[in-house]
Amino acid sequence: MMDTKNLLSEDQAVETSDVSDNCIDLGAADKQLGINRLILHVVCTTAFTGLDSGLIIHLIDGTGNTTGEIDAGERELNSTGTIAQADFLTAGGHWQIPVPPKKLQQYLGARYEPVSQAGVAGKFTSWFSEVPESEVV
């Protein structure tokens, strides 16, 4: 189900609303992973300027992937809510978003969405990790 890196974005520059450079292919639609089994990690690797109104990170799934990223049937599964600008002024912020226990479309990814102002210079790295069976709640 998961590739060896589970990498969605590696130092991906974000200025306007954009999906992650890559997505994870679950192999088929209608998979249900169970409660708290998969976590999306997003780290700010280069500080931003701008983003005065903050940014929202969305966990998404979709039905299409012709370019390596989700490009059809995008649906939000979960999000961080609005993250304040102060959290992006230095690199190192780390957010974790759990994949909810529901039937998923074939592809999983992320969307980075500035609330109103464009971001300048900032970058994200994001990936999925599986929660060890012993830690599943």
pLDDT 10s digits, 46-64: 999 888 889 999 999 999 9
> How far, in Å, CA of 42 to CA of 56, rounded?
11
Q: Are 120 and 49 in contact (CB under 8 A)?
A: yes
More confident residue, 29 or 95: 95
More confident residue, 58 or 89: 58
Strand runs (DSSP E) across the chain, as ranges? 7-13, 18-19, 24-25, 38-46, 49-50, 55-62, 75-79, 94-98, 107-114, 119-120, 123-130
Query: Strand, coil or helix: what is 96?
Result: strand
Phi/psi for 134 (5° steps) reads: -65, -20
Say if domain 7-128 classifies as CATH 2.60.120.1110.
yes
Beta partners for residue 80, in sequence order: none
Its pTM stands at: 0.88
pLDDT at 5 over 50: yes
Burial of 136 (0-12, 13-18, 19+ CB in 10 A): exposed
Query: In the chain, where are the structural domains located?
Result: 7-128
Q: Which two tokens stand for residue 68?
A: 């390596």
Q: Are 27 and 108 in contact (CB under 8 A)?
A: no
